[in-house]
Every structure is written in structure tokens, then in C-alpha cells.
Amino acid sequence: MSEVTLTVNGREVTRDVEDRTLLVHLLREHLGLTGTHVGCDTSQCGACTIHMNGKAVKSCGLLAVQADGSDIVTIEGLANGDTLHPMQAAFRENHGLQCGFCTPGMIMMAVDIVNRHPGGLDEQTIRKELEGNICRCTGYHNIVKAVAAAADEMSGVAMAAE
Amino acid sequence: MGIEGIGARVLRKEDRRFITGKGRYTDDIVERDMTHGVFVRSPHAHAKVLSMDTAAAEAMPGVIGVVTGQQLIDGAVGNIICGWMIYSKDGSPMKAAPWKVMDPEVVRHVGQPVALVVAETRAQAADAAEKIVIEYEELPALTDFSKAMDDGAPQVHEDVPNNLICDWQLGEEAATDEALATAAHVIELDLEQNRLVPNAIEPRAAIASYNEAEDHFTLNSTSQNPHVARLVLSAFYNIAPEHKLRVIAPDVGGGFGSKIYIYPEEITCLWAAKHLGRPIKWVADRTESFMTDAHGRDHVTKAKLGLDADHKFIGLKVETTANIGAYMSLFSSATPTYLYACLLAGQYTTPNIYCNVKLVYSHTTPVDAYRGAGRPEATFVVERMVEAAARQLGVSPAELRRKNFISEFPYQTPVLMNYDKADLHGLLDKGLAAIDYDGFAQRKAAAAARGKLRGIGFSCYIEACGLAPSKAVGQLGGGVGQWESAEVRVNPVGTIELLTGSHSHGQGHETTFAQVIAERFGLPTDNVQIVHGDTDKVQFGMGTYGSRSGPVGMGAIAKALDKIEAKAKKLAGHLLEADENDIVIEGGELKVAGTDKKLAWHEMTLGAYTAHNIPDDMEPGLSEKAFYDPANFTFPAGTFICEVEIDPNTGVTQVVKFVAVDDFGVIVNPNIVEGQVHGGLAQGIGQALFEACHYDDAGQLLTASYMDYCMPRADDLPNFALDHIETPNPNNPLGVKGCGEAGAIGAPAAVMNAVTDALGTEDITMPATPEKVWRAIQANRPAMAAE
Amino acid sequence: MYATNYAKAASVQDAVAKLQAAEDGKFLGGGQTLIATMKQRLAAPSDVIDLTKIPELHGISAGPDGLTIGAASTHATVAGSADVQRVIPAVSELASMIGDPAVRHMGTIGGVLANNDPAADYPAATLGLNATVHTSKGTYGADDYFRGMFETALDEDEIITKVVFPVPQKAAYEKFRNQASRYALCSVFVAKLGNGECRVAVSGSGQDGVFRVKEMEAALNAQWSPDAVTGIAVNPDSILSDIHGSAEYRAHLISVLAGRAVAKAG
């Protein structure tokens, strides 16, 4: 057992967990943050994608103790109160989700993609960057549209803030 | 339409919870005192179980108990059923061998469950599962189902000789043979339908609990049809009578058919929850999903198409062997027979059609309905044959189709179906314009200049969905009726709860169903709450599959709304002292036509509940229920045109253009319909280019994770160009036809017709992987060089 | 996953001591392979010793010896490094093609080279550039380091500290992905080193892991052009064959990709 301390969605939490506990299980089972999902065993579907210290990682691919001391943001922490994050809003506005199961991971990855491409995103880049996230419902068409729309919105927000 | 009525692009009401991580899927639910189950599964495709020792596992930390198949048999748990009886051409019934929930004596596919270990944590259950000692005697396995009927082939079930479940036929063989004999041209192809794994991203899961004080079970489960689950759990598996069993399907992360069926895991968990006295959660990992979710497709087919001198189709003969896997799953008999052969007329006037299907067992995971279920297979046969015919005759594939289109409706096909209405020429015209067909030669030349092979392929599909008229289903051997139910409960303040037997696992019912109500009464969709997926709340329902929630589920809603409307008008007439026939409902008001007399919707509903002033013959309240049984199947149709570019050096195929023009009848929400098409196309393109389930000769599943089973990614797929024609369905209260499967039905043929066009050979199977394409190019090189 | 004990190493010495004290310990880099393997119960180390917090394993620098990349550098760090992009853009590009963005945020160059998966990317650059692998015990030239599929020169308690890539005149990497896993079904790294020596290293295809194609190297030494290599056939006998690609197909891809890589290198 190890004691793990994390900042999750802005709140510091400490839990005693077995060393073999994956980060995703700490989030889901110990913290009740069930928005982060598990869709495969080989870290390929991306449904468990979260942000660790500002970067997208697959929370099924690391032990909770590996994340000790880090800053975690999950889908539950993305919105600002009642105000949706532009990526969340764009997924809704562009019908970028159907069953919703891959959606949290998709949105967390999409935010990371936009963060890493401050100069803007074309369709081909978005498709390429989504290679670690699998959706079975949408055929990706509207996900790509949503990411592009949010990227525009987010860069507009960033420019306005400067 | 109102701004939120039928035809409006209303944003989905359900999205807010999914985009904020507040969805509630089965694995998100925690029951008090919950335990965790892990199944022990057969590592062999075919073996006798000689012994099983669970003592060491039971002694492991945290273990509550171990459940074996023998315990289930001793507990009178029934065998798993196939729900559709079919007959061989000699009149004998299909030979469905018993499917024991966890067979204690023989295992017949890799992954078959043999025991359940229940422990305080999932990790403890997994640790203990490894301590169960099972002695197997390995037996020869049959995985190449094309050899299933060979003498000496390994036998899957003792009482099914040559593994032949049913030798089924439809149509007139003699007449078809005669047509082919007199044909000016006969086109022959050997075709394969690759085996697919549905792969909803949410793995199957169940939480079973038992309340001893009330002698009552609850099952939370990833089900597309919770009522049907409860029915068979009660009637066939002897878990509990229906009133003692509540089945809840909360948010469900995709289904595509694989979550229709009631699997050994749910049955075992329910029995064990009572036996062990604790709630049990089981969640499949992805490899378990690969090994146990019902797979799809898996046919080999020989087809012959005869044309007369004028290029009219005069006969189609199709001989198919369909792999059923190790056991007969719920719809496994119907999928490769009635849902397949009945669609072999396609969009054409072919007068003579005969189809023979041999359903065979093999030592593989059971195969059942997967998005499209039989209709993708039929469309593939018809559309590959037509395209091959056009090429062999040197005529335009578009014009050959046009020449043979059905143009007068209703049209009775030679294979049972009676098409109600379609505009096939209109669909093709729109498709040709959208793809810029005339510009193809130029695009092909430009691709050649870049060293690429460019091809174009058509798929003009028509399918039957909206399952289905119950009488017809019964006559064809189905074990249930396929109507749907709806209950509209109008509250005293005028808001509405709609209870539906359809189940939404991505289809957006919370939005579209609310739109149907908004359309009828002019109310905002926010005033409507959709209730579904809970047998305690909704009286009964057949669930969601076969593109039925639109045509059948909404049909039931429309009928219930008719009753609400009639009562509302009668009450409004009474309150406004007008004839009820003069009342019109619009914009949330009940008005007397031609006057300024009116009532707000909520004034009427409150009046119904206070009942201070209602007609003497009227019951208080405003709540109505309806069952809707469709008069016919519905027949969506469409033209898909695909363009691919192939890199001849690597064999990589890229879909560069894809046009889909569909006729789904009336469209309730274009956003959602387009989304359904996108997803279906992705699965169809996946079948054509990427997805294949492989077993080795010993029956080991080689594609049991995303490392080996290729799921299409964003960069594998193009943007799709969609368009529609709306010919309202004459037999449906709302004019809708259903849209959930069309993409998956039509796309594989369009892609393969484009690939074979680019390659100049028909000789390539799905999925057209880079290596297969490269090999086809190698094999074809002399021919290409000679051109 | 089986039960295991996790420990964070503060230094290379600390890591070695912890491993030696463990019953059956394993070093942990970004964990993108090891954790996945443990999840599937295919590996059961009693202890995992996390190397990624050791300061001396971090850092990227360009100097007279070439490009030095600390073993705990993630793929994203390497791909995004201005030094790497400037000095050996082919290594930057290779790093940007590993796994997916989330994997690149965790996976490390040291972890990849210690594991030596036959379908990994870095072995191709390491061998193709004749890099030097520095460890807690010494150094290895690339030709000595790789010893077959999942086999390297490393001892159980030996830690990669950094990799030094000599700066080539030209280099490029071409990767053909396994459509399912997105690992390399076949990939080729070509380089013309500073001393003029040409190298061709292939990953994803060798039965013994990464390997060089000497005939292609000789042809490139004679003439650096795509045509020099595309006509050279690789013998399929030593090439991997599985459901994703036969030996014959992979052998063919080697020639195609080698030609494309040479063209890309310019």
C-alpha cells in the first residue's frame, strides 16, 4: 500500500491504495469520478484520457502511485462551474457524440491537441492527432468538426485575453 | 414544424451529462455491499472438462464463493435459447443443440465461461480465478467453417451431424436455374463476408443483486432491450418470475446488436447473487468482449446472376454457408436467412431469385446480428454482382442499374418482401451529381500522374427495417412479437413524461422523441422527459435494434399522442364551450378555430387533474398508453458512391470521396440521422478495409485486442458527403423509415466495388488490407501492363 | 495485475540498489509497455522501480559528440525539442510518430531501448545512426547493443542513462504502421553519417528485432539515391510473418520504404 496525494480538479486528495492500483481506478473507485472510462486493456481506445500536469495521458496506463504529487484534471473538472469548456460545447453543438462512452477521453485529448497547436489546426492534423482515441458511433466526422470549431473558439478566447 | 418539432436540428438533450462526465453507465454504479465477479474461461476451442478443483480458489483472500456450471444445472437454470425457428428445405426443424449457461462437461469455443469467482475486490477475484485447477482433454477443433460439413470434420455437437444446423432455402430454384440456363450472360462470383466483432466501446457489464426480504432481483445491465432480457431470464432461465425481477439498462455505451442478447454472464451473476447473498458486479475486459460478445457476418457465398441480351436481370442464384459459431444465439437463425435472402432482390426487378443457406456450427464464438444483420451481406452480394456484370459487359454501372431499377410501387419481390415506396432513380441522380461522376475520368488520370490507382464504386441498397409486423414475424418462426409500446403521462402542470420501450444507447431518443411531442402540441422539448430502460417504470418494450426505434418506437408514441390529443380536444371543447372537432392545438395552446377563444396547454392539463369541470363521461387525468404493431417492414434505400486511391507500392487504400444519398422517409432530426449514417459508414468501411476476426487452426482467437483487431481511427476515414430524399413512408404514422443501419448495409459493397475497379480484378476479399491489395496487384501485373 | 511494490528512485545508484534488494524487480520508465504487460498478467515483477524522477536521466543537448538525449526523456519532449529538430530532424520526426499523443507524454527513449520491442521505432534510429547507448555500467555501440527480439546487452540491474546520436549528413525515417496496433509493421531509418558511411536500419520486420541491410548500405555508399535501394530485395527468410503481414510483404515494404526514406533525406 502507498499513500498517494494528488490535486484532482483543483482539490487536493490523499488516499491509501495498493501499489497495483491504476490511476483510472483511483479516480473511478476511490474518488467516485466515473466520467473517466475504461474501454480496453491495451491503452489504445483512449476512453480513460485525462490531463496530468497539463498533458493528456491515458489513466489506464499508469499506476496511481506514479502520479503521486501531480495535478490531475478529469472531464468533471473541465467546465468552469456551469459554463462549459469550449470543447465540451463544441462536441454538443456539432453532434460529436452518440453513446457518450468515448466522449470524456475524446474531449480531454482534443483539448490537449488544441493546446499543442496554438497556430491552428487543419482537418488532417486533427484526424492524425486523434489516433489514440477510438469512437465506434460517430465515424469521427462530427468529432473532427467539433475539434476544429473549438480550436477556433479557443484561439479566439486566447487572443481576446492577450 | 416548430423550432423544435419534426425536422429541426435540435441539439441533444442528453449531451450535457455525457460531456461533463455525468453519464451513468453500469460500471459507474455501486451497490451497497457489492462484490466483484471474474469468470474463468476456457483456453481451448474444444475440450472435455475432466475435473475442476475450486478449493484453493475458495481459500484465497477476499473470496466469497465460486459458482460452477454444475451448480447452475442443479439450481434448475435453463439453457440459453435461440428465439427463431427455421426449417430445412426437407421440412425438418433446425437442429439447435443445447447451450448450457456454463457447460460443466464440454467447452466449444475459446473464452466459454466455466466458473465464476466472486470476491470483495476485482483484483482478489482475478487472483483467485487463477487458482482454480481444471483438467481438460483437448479435442480437435473446427474453425474453418467452409469445411464444417466435410466427412471427418470435428463435430461441435453430438446430435448435429456434419455440423449442419439447417439447410434452408427461399425462392424458386427450378425457375431460377431455367432463367440462368437461358440467360445471354451469366456472371459468377465467389464472395466472402468477413467475420466482425461489434466492439461497442463500453464493454458488457452487469450488476446483479437480490433482496431476500422481498424475494426480488435487480439486474443493472448493458442491454439494448431490458424487457426482453427480463422475459427470457424469467421464462427460460428460471431466475425469477417477471414481477420479481427488475432489469435496468442505464446509460449504455453503444450496442450495434451485441447487447441484444442475454449472455451466460448475466444469468450466472443473478443466480450467484442470491446463492452467495451479495450483489455482484461483473465488467468485461476488452479481451473478454472479443471472446464472448456475439460476432457478426461470416459467410461464404457462390452467386450467379443471369442477364438477357438486353441486359435485364433475369435470375439470381445464391448459395451461402453461414457460420453460426459454437452455439445458436438469440437471432442467429434469422440473421443469415430471412434477414438476408429476403433482400436479394435489391433495387431490381430480377424476376427469379433462389437462395440456399447452410447454417453450420464451428468452434468459435457465437455469431448473431451485428449492425445491419443479414442486409449488409445481401447488399454485398447483389451490388458486387451488378458491378461485376457492368464491367464484364462493358457498360456503365450506373446505367445497368437504372435499366433494372424497380420503378413502380408497391412492388412484390420474389423473396417475400413487398416494397412500399422509393425513388430509386432520384437517389442515383443525386448521387451521381454529388460525386461529380462525369469528372471521375479526369480524377483518375490525375491520380495516375501521382502514381496512384483510382477507382469508383456504387452501392444502391434497399433494406428492410423497422422490425417488424408481429404476424409476419410469427409466420416466419420468430418467438416474439415486434411491436413497441409508449406511454405519455401529462402532468397537472402540463409537462410530459414519455415512457418508451425503445432503448437509447447513442441514438438520441431523449431528443428526437421529445421533438415528436413538441411537434404535436407546440411545447418546448425541455418540457418533455423521456423514461426508458427500466422494467419497473416502462410496462413492456421490445428494445432497440434493427433500426426500429424510429419507425416502430415513434409509431407507438404517435398512437399514444393521438389518444392524448383526442382527450385534450374533448376537454378543451368542454371548457371553451365549443365542438371538440373545432379545437386545434398549436404553439402550446388549444384554440377554437376561427375564434379568439383559447386555453393554454397547462390550463387544460390542470383542468384534467382537478376534474372540477370535465365532461360527465370523462375520466380525470391525462395519461395514455399505446402499442404499435407496424403494418409492414420499412424500406430505406439509398445510393452510395465511393472513390478510393490505392498506392500500388504498398497496397494502401484510401477512401478519398464518399457520397451517401439516403431515403429514410421523414427525418425527425437531421443532426442525429446524419450522425447515424456517419457511424454506419465507418463500420461499413471498417468491414471493407480494416476489420477481420482471425482464428488459428486450433481455434485460438488471434484478434482478441485492439493490438490485433483493427478499429478504424479518425485518420482512416474521409469526410462524408450526405444528402437525402424524403419519400414519406406510407405505412407509418410519422412517415419515417429508420436510419440506424443503412450506412453499414450499403458501404462495404461501395468500397469493394471501388477497390476492384481500381485494381481491375474481382478477386480480392474483405478486408482489402494493404497486403491483399498489393498481392492482387502482383497477381494482376501482366494484365495491367498489357493495357 | 498481480500485486507489486512501487518505489521511486532518487538516483541511478539508488535505483540499482533498490533493484538488487528486490526479489524480482523491474525498472519502470514511462510504463507504456511494462504497465500494459502487467495489466494482462503477462509480467509479475515483485517490485517496480521508477526511474523517471532521476534528474540525471533528463536533458537533451547538442554538442560536438552529437545529440545527447537523457534516457527518461519522453517521446513528446524529444519530438518537441528545438535542439533535436535542428540537429537531427529525423529523430524528432521519429519520436513524433511513436504511439499516440498520450503515449508520447509518458513513454521514454530509455524504456523503448531497454525493452527492444521488434516493432518499436527508436531502435531503427539508434542502429541507423550508430548511436552510443550509455548505461550505469558503461557504453555500447548500437551494433553491440541490440541482441535479438526483446534482447539487449543490458544486465538485469543495468540502467540506460542517455543515448548519444552522432550528427549525420542526411537521415530520414519511414514508418508503415500495423493498421491495428499502430506499431511499425515495417520501418526504415536511413542515414549518411558524418564520416560518409551510409546505414539502413529496419524495425518492425526482423525475426531478431532491428537489423541493418548491408546490401542497401553498400549501394548507398556507392550512390545516394532512392533507385539505389528500391531494386534490392531483402530475403524474407529472416523476416517476421503474422496475420498483419507476411514475410514476403514486409520484405517488399523494406525496399519501398528505404527508397522513400532516401528520397525524403534528400
Q: What is the mean pLDDT of residues B711-721?
A: 98
| B649 contacts on C by Cβ (under 8 Å) | 256
Beta strands A11-17 and A2-8 are antiparallel
Beta strands C60-63 and B353-361 are unpaired
Q: Report DSSP letters for B183-205, one per residue.
A: -SEEEEEEEEEEEE----SSPPE
Q: How far is CA C121 from the centre of its chain?
A: 5
Contacts of A156 (CB under 8 A, 6+ apart): none
Residue C210 CA to residue B240 CA, distance in Å, equals 60
Residue C161 CA to residue C152 CA, distance in Å, equals 15
Residue B179 CA to residue C11 CA, distance in Å, equals 83
Of C181, C182, C249, the CB nearest to B771: C249
Closest approach of B17 to chain A, Cα-based (Å): 9
Residue B325 CA to residue B297 CA, distance in Å, equals 11
Q: Do C102 and A62 touch (CB under 8 A)?
A: no
Q: Do B649 and C256 touch (CB under 8 A)?
A: yes
Q: What is the mean pLDDT of residues B701-708?
A: 98
A9 and chain B in contact, CB less than 8 A: no
Query: How does DSSP classify residue B179?
Result: H
- What is the per-residue pLDDT for B2? 57
Triad B730, B732, B734: Cα angle to 5°: 105
Residue B636 CA to residue B417 CA, distance in Å, equals 13
pLDDT band, residue A159 (cuts 50/70/90): low
pLDDT band, residue B783 (cuts 50/70/90): low
For B125-184, the pLDDT digits (tens) are 999 999 999 999 999 999 999 999 999 999 999 999 999 999 999 999 999 999 999 999
Residue A65 CA to residue C7 CA, distance in Å, equals 9
Q: Do C246 and B650 touch (CB under 8 A)?
A: no
% of chain B beyond a pLDDT of 70: 99
- What is the per-residue pLDDT for B467? 87
Contacts of A137 (CB under 8 A, 6+ apart): A97, A98, A99, A102, B201, B254, B506, B675, B679
Residue B668 CA to residue B521 CA, distance in Å, equals 15
Contact C24, C45 (CB under 8 A): yes
Helices B397-404 and B375-393, axial angle in degrees (round to 10): 120
Question: DSSP alpha helices (H): ranges in B363-439?
Answer: 375-393, 397-404, 424-435
Q: What is the SS3 assignment for B164? A: strand
Would you say residue B787 has pLDDT above 50? no
Closest approach of C249 to chain B, Cα-based (Å): 6
Q: Peptide bond before B779: cis, by omega within 30 degrees of 0?
A: no
Contacts of B334 (CB under 8 A, 6+ apart): B84, B86, B369, B374, B476, B477, B478
Number of H helices and E strands in chain B, helices first, is 20, 28
Which of B15, B683, B708, B711 is the best residue to mutate to test the A interface, defined by the most A CB atoms within 10 Å of its own CB? B15
Q: What is the SS3 assignment for C158? A: coil
Predicted-complex ipTM score: 0.97
Residue B635 CA to residue B664 CA, distance in Å, equals 8
For C100-156, the pLDDT digits (tens) are 999 999 999 999 999 999 999 999 999 999 999 999 999 999 999 999 999 999 999
Give me B457's grid cell: 464504386
Question: DSSP alpha helices (H): ranges in C116-184?
Answer: 122-128, 142-145
Contact B434, B456 (CB under 8 A): no
- As a whole number of Å, the CA-based R_g of chain C is 18
- As a whole number of Å, the CA-based R_g of chain B is 27
Query: How does DSSP classify residue B146?
Result: G
For B307-329, the pLDDT digits (tens) are 999 999 999 999 999 999 999 99
For B744-754, the pLDDT digits (tens) are 999 999 999 99
Q: Which of B366, B367, B363 is nearest to B339 (CA)?
A: B367
For A88-128, the pLDDT digits (tens) are 999 999 999 999 999 999 999 999 999 999 999 999 999 99
Q: Report DSSP letters for B511-540, one per residue.
A: HHHHHHHHHHH---GGGEEEE-SBTTTSS-
- What is the per-residue pLDDT for B1? 47
Would you say residue B610 has pLDDT above 90? yes
B285 and chain A in contact, CB less than 8 A: yes
For chain B, how far is it from start to end, CA to CA, in angstroms? 57
**Could you give the strand order of the β-sheet that contains B583-586, starting from the edge strand earlier in sequence?**
B583-586, B589-592, B598-600
- What is the per-residue pLDDT for B276? 98
C105 and chain A in contact, CB less than 8 A: yes
For B200-240, the pLDDT digits (tens) are 999 999 999 999 999 999 999 999 999 999 999 999 999 99
Query: How does DSSP classify residue A26?
Result: I
Q: What is the SS3 assignment for B641? A: strand
Triad B182, B184, B188: Cα angle to 5°: 90
- What is the per-residue pLDDT for B784? 54
Which of B285, B711, B774, B777 is the best residue to mutate to test the C interface, defined by the most C CB atoms within 10 Å of its own CB? B774
| C3 contacts on B by Cβ (under 8 Å) | 123, 127
Strand partners of residue C239: C206
Q: Which residue of A has its CA nearest to B671?
A: A95
Strand partners of residue A17: A2
A139 and chain B in contact, CB less than 8 A: yes
B17 and chain A in contact, CB less than 8 A: yes
A86 and chain B in contact, CB less than 8 A: no
Would you say residue B786 has pLDDT above 50? no
Q: Which residue of C has its CA nearest to A106?
A: C102
| B706 contacts on C by Cβ (under 8 Å) | 180-181
Q: Do A134 and B706 touch (CB under 8 A)?
A: yes
Contacts of B651 (CB under 8 A, 6+ apart): B769, B770, B771, B772, B773, B774, B775, B776, B777, C249
Mean confidence (pLDDT) of chain B: 97
Q: Report DSSP letters for A28-89, one per residue.
A: IIIS--TTS----SSS-S-TTEEEETTEEEETTSSBTGGGTT-EEE-GGGTSBTTBPPHHHH
Residue B513 CA to residue C180 CA, distance in Å, equals 38
- What is the per-residue pLDDT for B782? 63
Q: What is the mean pLDDT of residues B571-583?
A: 97
Q: Which residues of chain C have pLDDT under 50?
A: none
